[in-house]
Amino acid sequence: MENYGTPEAVAKSYRKYQPNTNINEKVALHIDRIRLEGSCRVPKPKLVPPPSDRNVIYFPQCTILHRCDDSTGCCMDTETCVPKATAEVELYFSVSRIGRNRQQAVAIKMTNHTECHCVRKGMEKAVPRSTANQPVVGFDWDAIGSAETDVPVCNCPEFYKPIFDSGSKCYCDCVSGAKECMRFKEGHEHFSLLTRK
């Protein structure tokens, strides 16, 4: 499998699709390339931050998850690329609370997109999560240090992000600029019955 991110692979890819042909053939080659490499079917790897908590420092500060969105898959002008299926994955981070010297290796469940598809803009629906949307209440940060302790997992509906307040209580909200999330928050879109369970 070729690594498409290297400068050599990028140059090779462009040379492959730009032979000495007329302009119409170049257009057809470009369309074929996008259909092959840019279709909204297979999720692409992207850097994703761990759940946001102003009082916690995660290391690493990002992870790589597969995502379906308009920067990873190409759809018609009237459509957008969204996840068709997702799966929970367990990723491991070193976590420390701001103002404390203790660090703990913990497992955090995050959502990985496993299949993409194009849907009409404005008709996006949340993909049901594999776990219930239960808030985490009263996580005991003083217990960090024992091997059995995990960081609280806040399971939020698709598009929402988990946020932990100073009391380590979790709630789900939209982050700045998240248009899809705001459509649900403002009531323009509704969650499916499976997502509400």
Model pLDDT for residues 75-86, shown as the tens digit of each residue: 999 999 999 999
pLDDT in the model for residue 190: 72
Q: How many CA atoms lie within 13 A of 160 on its CB side?
A: 23
What pLDDT shows up at residue 131? 34
CA distances from 118 to 115, 180, 181 (A): 11, 15, 18
**Exposure b/e, 32-57, CB count within 10 A at least 16 = b:** eeeeeeeebeebbebeeebbebeebe
Q: With 80 as the cut, is the pLDDT of residue 155 above it?
A: no
User: Using one digit for the tens of pLDDT, what is the confidence trace for 113-130?
Assistant: 999 999 998 776 544 433
Q: Which of 8-12, 42-46, 137-141, 188-192 has the lowest mean pLDDT?
A: 137-141
* Global pTM value: 0.53
The token pair at 46 is: 């992207």
- What does the DSSP 8-state code read for residue 141? G
